[in-house]
Chain A
Amino acid sequence: MNKKTPYILIIPIVLLGVLFIFGVVNGIVQSLGYIPAFGLKSITLDYYISILKNPIFLDSLKLSLQISIVSSILAIILGTILTAALVYTNHTEGRVIQVIKLAILVPYTIVALFLISILSQNGLMARAFYKLGWISSQGEFPLLLYSKNNFGIILGYVWKEVPFVAYFSLSLMNSVNKTLGEASENLGASKLKSFFYITLPLSMPAIRKAFLIILTFSFGAYDLPFLIGATLPKALPVQAHIQYIHPDLRHRPYAMALNGLILLITWIMAFVYYLVTKKKRIKGEINEKY
């Protein structure tokens, strides 16, 4: 219609986008030690080098990676099974989906509360164990929250991400199953075979995307490790915030370098995802040709 129209339509996203990029770049510049307001004016990689040499920060890095990788792998497997269960039992809408949506709606802060009331040493699980005679006092119940094993945090992510994965990949798996999956069954493939050879592989784009989203999210998220994490080591975002609010303002570049590290690893995850999907796409094109 009008040549100017698209440029008018993108005004707000451009303004917000500029602000967004400015925020990210500003953080990166500060991580290189350039904060004139605090009298820091030389550009250096020292802050990155020193966090990578500091055992406290390295433990934080290991912890964050462990939490996000373990919880995301568990969530993607269980989430795919849940998606299949929803598709094959024909529960793609209605009350069951409403319950799934409920889990997506509950914020991580309230998930922390759930975990506290169920898994802490005087929580409901410990009470049930006591009633069953498995433990004789609160102290005998294993420490699952505020502890180095991070059991509670991982469980919290899994609780919220399994429904997310199902909700995210449901429509694709359902449409694949309704068309090609059922066609292969009509041609004589068993249900199991048609799922693993037809429906699952063709649903992978949505499942892979869901995996990237939950992996990067749980790596950079603050709420759960802040509320139910151990005193030491702390997750990277929590550690970064502690450095950020340190009264000595010269700690600021350390906070920003930790943030830079979070960004770098998040982007590596996204880049690997991009490479994998690109390869798959090329392969798909070849398959289509022959």
Chain B
Amino acid sequence: MSATSEHSGDQPSAFVRKQRPWYSRVNWIAVVAAIFVLLLLLQMIRVQVDLAQAGKAYPPTYWALQFSNGLVLGGVYALIALGYTLVYGILFMINFAHGEIVMFGAYAGFFVLAACDALGFTKSNQVATLLLVFGAGMLVSMLMGVGLERIAYRPLRNAPRLVPLITAIGASVFLQETSRLIFGAPIRVYVKPPLLQGAFTLPGNISIPTTGVFVILSSLVLMVLLYWLVQRTTTGRAMRAVATNKEAAALMGVSVDRIIVITFAIGSILAGAAGVMLGFHNSQINSTMGFFPGIKAFTAAVLGGIGNIPGAMLGGLILGLAEALGPSLLGIPSQYKDVIAFTLLVLVLIFRPQGILGEHLGAEKA
């Protein structure tokens, strides 16, 4: 190994280290990444200028629509990212199966919606139906999350770190397959109640789908509720205490096990709501629908600083906007939007591994 030469006798004193030459002090990864970012910006400007010169620039209504799409995606990502962040903040593990909990929430909501449709309940009580659908999604997701913690994660709490991670991957595939086998492979279609059909028209002839407005508003409400819960209630204080230091919290009389279960429950409730929202937004669900939003929401959580609640919200929003606006800005096909999310993740990890709002992660957390 190259380190051995440093410790051999050719240096006058082992404690005096020569200043390294400038080229080894520069963080070349960051330089390359910075050049890459610059190139992206240049490309963006070039594409937009080209389009403008050719008279094909996107109209403002298009940008407004994309922006609202970004907000919708951002809201959903933020809700899922909160689940990752809450769990990570306390257990320092990635709950890989979180995306599948989203998917189960979407299915539960779908079945309740279908039942309400079939019984003719949707027509007469639209608001009650929506509440029921959300309630079912959240309830089922919560049960799944708590069950998952009990069966797959709790026995491994003191195992080496690779072990729960592999279990989580296994759980993710297991839940995906379970839903495919139980509910069947074909895509199910969310039928929007009349309340959510149509579009809002803002001044300037900008129209935004009603589902979009609905998703943005309801995710905002949920996030405010979560913030209140974590910052203003005793349970929230206990959660923060456990996240800071498990042993000390236990000594202060906090039941760590209970708090972990509550954390999983809250994260899963948000995931269930996100699943129903995804169902309404994309209007179709299947058993693999949770996987990519799950991964991207994790990206969002890292982007904002994992373990940090406002960070997850901010990260989700940024990621959603980047995904919705990025392809048009850069002039690339929209199939590449998944690449945008992962590129963003890598860039964040190079420049600011602790995330936008995150505090510095010590070795034990990273």
Do A and B associate with each other?
no
> Which residue numbers of A lie inside 8 Å of B, CB to CB?
none
